[in-house]
Amino acid sequence: MITPQLNYDSIANDYNQRYPTSQQWGRGEALLKLARQINAKKILETGSGTGYWLNLLHQVTPQLYGLDFSAGMIAQARRQPAPLKLTHAKATQLPYQSAAFDLIYCVDAIHHFGDHRAFIREAYRLLKPGGALAIIGHDPHEAGISSWYIYRYFDNVYKTDTLRYPAGTSVLKWMHKEGFQDTSAQTVEYIRNEYADENVFTDPFIKYNATSQLALLSEKTYQSGLQNIGNAISRSKEINKSITFRSEIIVKMWLGFK
Ligand SMILES: C[S@@+](CC[C@H](N)C(=O)[O-])C[C@H]1O[C@@H](n2cnc3c(N)ncnc32)[C@H](O)[C@@H]1O
How many other CB atoms are there within 10 angstroms of residue 183's CB atom? 16
Answer whether 112 contacts ligand 1 (Cβ < 6 A): yes
User: Among residues 35, 46, 52, 48, which one has the least CA distance to residue 95?
Assistant: 46
Ligand 1 mean position, distance from CA 111 (Å): 9
pLDDT in the model for residue 1: 47
Answer whether 213 contacts ligand 1 (Cβ < 6 A): no
| Choice from 44, 52, 69 to test ligand 1 binding pocket (greatest atom count within 8 A of CB) | 69
pLDDT in the model for residue 145: 59
pLDDT in the model for residue 221: 96
Which pTM value belongs to this model?
0.94
Q: How far, in Å, CA of 139 to CA of 125, rounded?
A: 25
| Choice from 7, 48, 92 to test ligand 1 binding pocket (greatest atom count within 8 A of CB) | 48
Answer whether 107 contacts ligand 1 (Cβ < 6 A): yes
Ligand 1 mean position, distance from CA 113 (Å): 8
pLDDT in the model for residue 22: 64
User: Which residue has its alpha carbon closest to ligand 1 atom 10?
Assistant: 109
Strands 181-196 and 127-137: unpaired
Q: How far, in Å, CA of 133 to CA of 254, rounded?
A: 8
How many other CB atoms are there within 10 angstroms of residue 2's CB atom? 6
Q: How far, in Å, CA of 118 to CA of 67, rounded?
A: 15
Kindly list the domain boundaries of the chain, sorted by start residue.
Answer: 8-257
CATH of domain 8-257: 3.40.50.150
Cα angle 86, 6, 10; round to 5: 70
Q: What is the DSSP letter of 167?
A: P
Answer whether 102 contacts ligand 1 (Cβ < 6 A): no
User: Which residue has its alpha carbon closest to ligand 1 atom 16?
Assistant: 112
Answer whether 56 contacts ligand 1 (Cβ < 6 A): no
pLDDT in the model for residue 3: 57
Q: How far, in Å, CA of 164 to CA of 168, rounded?
A: 12
User: Among residues 60, 68, 103, 106, which one has the least CA distance to residue 85?
Assistant: 68
| Choice from 6, 8, 54, 90 to test ligand 1 binding pocket (greatest atom count within 8 A of CB) | 8
Ligand 1 mean position, distance from CA 233 (Å): 34
pLDDT in the model for residue 24: 78
Helices (H), the chain: 26-37, 52-56, 71-77, 116-126, 149-153, 157-164, 168-178, 212-215, 219-238
Partnered with residue 250 across adjacent β-strands are 190
Q: Mean pLDDT, 10 residues at a time, over the chain (258 residues)? A: 70 78 86 98 97 97 97 96 97 97 98 95 98 96 81 95 95 98 96 95 90 92 98 97 95 97
Alpha carbon of residue 49 to chain centroid? 10
Helices (H) and strands (E) in the chain, counts: 9, 7
Ligand 1 mean position, distance from CA 139 (Å): 17
